[in-house]
Amino acid sequence: MSKVICYPRCCVPEYYNDEYYYFEMFSIPEHKRSNVGHVGVQLFKELKKSKITPTVEALDFTIIAMAVVAADKAILRRNSADGWTRKIELYIYLHDAAKWRKEKRKLEDMLRFLSGDFWMLTIKDLPESLVPKKKFDLRKQDCICLLSGGMDSLVGAIDLHEEGRNPLFVSQIVRGDADHQREYAMQFGSDNLCQWSNKVYKKGKSENSTRARSIMFFAFALLASCGINCNTQGRKELFVPENGYISLNMPLDPLRTGSLSTKTTHPVYMNMLQEIWNDVGINIDFVLPYKYKTKGEVLEECKNQNLMEKFIFGSTSCGKYQRYGLRHCGVCVPCLVRRASFLKNRMCDETEGGYCKENLQLADSKDVAAATLAVVQLKENGIESLVKGMLTFAKGEERDLYLGVIERGLLEIGALLKEYNVI
């Protein structure tokens, strides 16, 4: 069991155990130690700049999220018994610790699903409030929308604007995406983007699988929601524009089952998070407008095609974008889905910088090989032979809808593979 202790300045430990990892939250530690890092140093400055005062519930969840992301980076998977699955004991300090202790099991189960690890949370009482005293007026926006810089988030922003909505966009600052995030937001107004960072600092090597990273995105969205008013039902809407095929992220081969496939916006994860938020009195509803659509269908049905085509090629999809020098690799699953969506819509693919590996027939790629086998199996044995038990969470009509989006998504990829004579 790896132990990670996350604390604000008011809870600095009296003693540091050399076998544990420590992260000071919201400030840089005064004493330098090899096993002490920090996280979220700029958060309160960024909240003030955005003129948002967080609620106690929002700040507590953000502390949880930051601690999870810090632990996710600190504990190397390769040191675990199977080279992947970790056992993480995480200590955190919260304002309303008693309320969150009631959610302890649900939080642990959610994190288990999200990252594939075993989590054990210890929730302690925060001795003083960290909530900023300055109160800001509520903004004019009427909903929250995630804006990652990807294709789906761009279309989501366009569609909301065309529907007459006025979203407050939320972005995590990621190298290579920040400029595009700002560019997209500017098309729909001014002062409508919360673009925040969650820098985790630790000495030595860090884990780069980051299966738990999406929890921070939702924490930022929750913080941003504190700056807008509720609707007539006393709720707020958080739009998560992600196509259903990527959300489900069906493993293309048996070697990528379980936590080896990311679950950033998976329906199970979304439902678990929604239940926890409801339990603690966070009145926000997740809205996933494209959960039954493929990426090709998202592009096809975009409500302003001219605006989409103007910006779509600057969007980012690649899972290895930074590793390839801010270029799309062309052969990972997200790249295949991206390229297939352009082909479906008969769009000339003018992705900025092109693809590092353009010709799929010549590419030595495990993802291309796995996609090829999946498409062949689909044609020979049908979609049920591929899905097996991955849709046990869905029943009846919902299962059929998810089954349909997986099948159509694979057919889009199949058309791309055929275009390059791979099949």
Domains of the chain: 2-125 (no CATH), 143-199+211-287 (3.40.50.620), 305-419 (no CATH)
**pLDDT confidence of residue 261:** 62
Dihedral pair phi/psi, residue 167, rounded to 5°: -80, 150
State mean pLDDT over 22-42. 95
Q: Is 123 exposed, middle or buried (0-12, 13-18, 19+ CB in 10 A)?
A: buried
Planar angle of CA 318, 295, 114, nearest 5 degrees: 60
| Stretch 140-145: mean pLDDT | 97
Residue type, 254: P
pLDDT of residue 176: 65
Q: What is the mean pLDDT of the chain?
A: 94
Q: Which residues pair with 354 in a beta bridge?
A: none
Q: Tell me the pLDDT tens digit for each residue of 166-175.
A: 999 999 887 7
DSSP β-bridge partners for residue 145: 169, 239
Helix (H, G, I), strand (E, B) or coil at 270: helix
On the question of pLDDT at 259 being above 50, the answer is: no
CA distance 416 to 343: 7
Per-residue pLDDT, averaged over 116-123, amounts to: 97
Q: Burial letters for 314-336: b for 16+ Cβ neighbours within 10 Å, e otherwise?
A: bbbbbeebeebeebbbbbbbbbb
* Pick from 133, 144, 137, 116: nearest CA to 277: 144
Is-contact 326 174, C-beta < 8 A?
A: no
Helices (H) and strands (E) counted in the chain, each on its own, are 15, 11
**pTM for the model:** 0.95
Which own/partner contact pairs does 176-183 have at CB distance under 8 Å and 24+ positions apart? Answer: 176/316, 176/321, 176/322, 176/326, 177/148, 177/149, 177/316, 178/149, 180/149, 180/311, 180/314, 180/315, 180/316, 181/147, 181/148, 181/149, 183/311, 183/314
pLDDT of residue 97: 98
d(CA 341, CA 364): 22
Residue with the two structure tokens 């591929």: 386
Share of the chain above pLDDT 90, in %: 87
pLDDT of residue 258: 41
pLDDT at 403: 97
Neighbours of 95 (CB within 10 A): 18
How far does Cα 241 stand from its chain's mean position?
11
Distances (CA, A) of 168 to 22, 50, 197: 34, 11, 17
Say what angle helices 267-279 and 104-115 make with each other, to 10 degrees: 160
Could you give the angle at the alpha carbon of 42 between the alpha carbons of 142 and 315, nearest 5°? 55
Torsion angle, alpha carbons of 218, 196, 330, 77, to 10: -60
Rounded Cα–Cα distance for residues 74 and 4 (Å): 8
- Please give the average per-residue pLDDT across 66-77, as a whole number: 96
Residue written as token pair 């002062």: 191
Give mean pLDDT, residues 192-214: 90
Q: Is 91 helix (H, G, I), strand (E, B) or coil?
A: strand
